[in-house]
Structures are given as C-alpha cells and as structure tokens.
Structure 1
C-alpha cells in the first residue's frame, strides 16, 4: 500500500474531527476520498502531508512511518491543497522555473510539465490571467515538478466548469496509466470520482463509512425488479401471498429484490394470471449517488 493509516484520530480542542481512520491506498490507483463538506477530508490530507501533527494513530507512506521519515517521504509526494500557490505576476512558465530552482530540479522540467497539463500555449501569459481550470492545471504541474510517486489533491475540480472538470479528470487518469503515479484525490461529488477512480473511501463526520474498489461500491447497490402495474397495493399483496418480498410500493409501481431474469419473467406471468396489467417490468440498479447518501447518513 502506498498510504496506510491505522486508527488515526485528530481533535480541534475537544472536538474530534478524524475518528479511528484506517486508510489503505493501493499503488497505481486513483483513490477517491469522498465525503460531504466538513466530513474531515482536508484535515486527513493535512495529516498525510505533516501539515498537522499526528495526535493518535499512525501513518505509513511507501511502507515507512511518516513521523520518523517525514523529509524522505514528502520528497516523493506532490500536493495541491485548496488553491494552488502561484505568483500571479509571473507567467506560467516562470512559476514552474521558480519552483524548479527551489526544488533543485532541472529548469527544463518546466517545459515537460507545461506539455503534460496542456498549457504550452499559455506558457508566457501571466498566471493571474489564467482561468480557474488553467490555474488548477498549473497547480498540478507544480506538484509534479519533482516527479513524485504520489500525488495528493484536495478537491481539484471544485468550482470548475464542465470543460475544466473533464480536463482535470483526463489528466489524473493519464498520470496513473502513462506515468505510473498513485493519485489520492478528495471530493464531495461522487459523480466525478466514479468517472476516474479505481478505489474509493467514503468519510462522514470524521469516520470511514466505506472503503474498497469502485466495483465493491457498485456491488453494494443491490438491483431490484420494478413493476409498473394496475392496483399496486393489491398486486403487492398477491405477490406476498406467493412468497415474494416487496420492498417498495407507490401508486404506479412496486419493487422486489432481483434474483434472476427467469424469476422476473415468473413475476410478470403471475401478475398477468391474477388479472393485473403489467405496463413495464425490469431490473433497476440503485443509483450510486443514492447509495452514497445512504452510506453517509448512517453516521
């Protein structure tokens, strides 16, 4: 695991902000760290970057304990927390060259990073005149200058227009697939994480509610059979008498747990046999956004 935390706790005064948090971030993954605003995402990220002192628990990055190997570990980590730290009066390229000097990396890395984030055409424009999406891409370029193994990003698509969001998403996927990076990215938007992440952790009120692959998350979304029919209450009672479990009933449709296509066909035939008109019947997968809300509301 590139990142591994064990029973991480953090308090502001007596208020717990991170609660017994145990993270496992696989190498080469895009790990989406999801949670509502105020869930503890930024505090966790600041702990991972030693911007806050660990109070309880442990953090291992690249298999090494963070507190005792901080300088060595963080030299292999690039980050973008909230707004990118750029000089508005300098051009995009000048910002990169200036940071390269501080990091003692070759200045020609600036050109490579501009190409990576598709800012070649804006290299000589003042960074203060960049759009928000361009500033975020410049921030990622700055984070990538020293060729880190791990990139930690706090809500990099926040406030971006749809085109800007797509650009960041495509860039992060490229970093893992073509440049062998591990990306840890926080967000409060499941739809964005779902489109790019391989793994996900869901945090709420400082506690980890779910952790696993995107496929693991999708597997939690149990499919149902939705039946649009006449007299749904009567239809539901009839199906119950035939041994079926009814999970939801409205004026226009009812739902049952999905088991197989054959069972769905049998439900259809049974309703027809009992005199109910079936206008539609089919398998429905619970929306992941709804699942996310259900998970976070358990806290």
Structure 2
C-alpha cells in the first residue's frame, strides 16, 4: 500500500510560523523558544551541521515527533525524504491507478506531464528505476494531495547532477502555479545554486534567517 504522510494543522494565512517552538529528543535539546516564519513566495532552504536537529524538526511538522510551543501552517503538511516507501514491485501505472482512486485525475496527469514521466515506461517496476525516477514517482504521489506545506528532507541525496537538476527545474515550475510553503532541508549546496530562495541556519538551539546565499554557504563550510 502506498502511504502518504500528511497532517492537517491550523492557521489562516499562507506562511508557516513557529511560535515559542522548542524541540528535545531524548535528553538532547535541539531547539529552544524559536519564533520564525517561512513564506510561500520562496523556497526556504534550511542548513545546519549534522545533529543540529534538521530532520527532527521536519518530523515534528507532520506529527512524527512531539515538540513544545506551536506550529501554525495552512491546512496540511507533507514530508518527502530521500528514501522511498512505494512498494518495489509497483509499476508507474500501478501508482497512477492508485492515486486516481484518491485524487483528481486531471491534477495527477498535470504533475505527470510537469515531471516528464512520459519518458518512463508505465510498465517499469519501481525497483528497476533509477534513483532520480524514483524521486519523481514519489513527488507525483505526494503532490497529488495538493499540500500547502511541503517539507523536503535531503531529497536530492545520492542523486547524480542531471537527476538533481531535473528535480530543481520541476520544483521551480511547480512553485509558479501552486501556493505552497516549500521548506528544503539539505546539505547539498547545489540545491541553493539552482533554486533561489530564503536561507535559514540551525545552530545553538536556534533557527536564524541568513541574508544571502554566499553567507550561509560560508557558515556551512566553516561548520558553524
């Protein structure tokens, strides 16, 4: 069965807001009293060192981890990671048929075209697809729900350059016609090169907005 992780949340505007947000995993405090907003007009890139709390933060947004404080966001959030939970024996055609039982066919096929999935045989099994093709299938499945908050967690991890560029181009086109907050949690600096947006850094229990791409890249390289 194809599982799509999403959570209905609260909030009337289109920004996603953290209000007095704190996160602790086990005995380790990761974030404390964070107050910040992520705007739908941009792709919001979040960087930080390993163990800073990036992926744990993502999980709190879809109800997979508990936190203190409040997250205000519009309607629903989904989390898309680098691994796939689509059954390996499924074909592209299987996925499309399953999605059409839950979502609008026109919306599904619009995404299908935008992802250029016509280049993939509908009879090809997931297990025989390239990593880039698998990510496209996953985007098709998750985005068919028309989520208002999209959280990408290392979604270009292990992809080759051409596959990554395909996904960058898709997301930039998708953003032109969909009103969604997109948060991209990454350590892949190419994400920032190909997708302009806003930049945030997790460090010292805080999420801080950074003024420029060059500045956040320098911080990341220095390991701050």
TM norm structure 1: 0.64
Q: Structure 2: how far apart are the matches of 1:20 and 1:43?
A: 16
Whether the 8 Å CA contact 1:7–1:20 is kept in 2: the answer is yes
Are residue 199 (structure 1) and residue 189 (structure 2) matched?
A: no
Q: Does 1:2 find its partner at 2:15?
A: yes
Q: In the alignment, which residue of structure 2 is the partner of 1:264?
A: none
Of 32, 52, 63 in structure 2, the residue corresponding to residue 50 of structure 1 is: 63
- CA offset digits 1:211-262 (Å, max 9, x no partner): 05xxx225x85xxxxxxxxxxxxxxxxxxxxxxxxxxxxxxxxxxxxxxxxx
Which one has a bigger Cα radius of gyration?
A: 1
* Aligned equivalent of 1:113: 111
2:37 to 11, 16, 24: 24
Which structure exhibits the higher relative contact order, with contacts defined as CA atoms closer than 8 Å and separated by 6 or more residues?
2
In structure 1, C-alpha distance between the alignment counterparts of 2:125 and 2:24, rounded to whole Å? 40
Partner of 2:47: 34
Q: Give how far 1:290 is off.
A: 2.4
Is residue 82–residue 154 contact of structure 1 (8 Å, CA) maintained in 2? yes
Is the CA contact 1:93–1:110 (under 8 Å) kept in the aligned structure 2? no
TM-score computed with the length of structure 2 as normaliser:
0.83
Please list, as runs of the form range in 1=range in 2, the aligned pairs for 1:124-203 lying within 5 A after superposition: 124-203=123-202
CA gap of 1:106–1:115, structure 2 versus 1, over 3 A, is same
The aligned length equals: 210
How far off its partner does 1:49 sit?
1.0
The CA distance in 1 between the partners of 2:33 and 2:99, in whole Å, is 36
Whether the 8 Å contact between 1:18 and 1:207 is mirrored in structure 2 is yes
Q: Distance in 2 between matches of 1:93 and 1:53?
A: 37
Give distance in 2, aligned partners of 1:203 and 1:135. Answer: 29
Shift in alpha-carbon separation, 1:188–1:206, aligned structure 2, 3 A = farther
**TM-align CA RMSD:** 2.2
Partner of 1:81: 81
The 1:190–1:19 alpha-carbon spacing in structure 2 relative to 1, beyond 3 Å, is farther
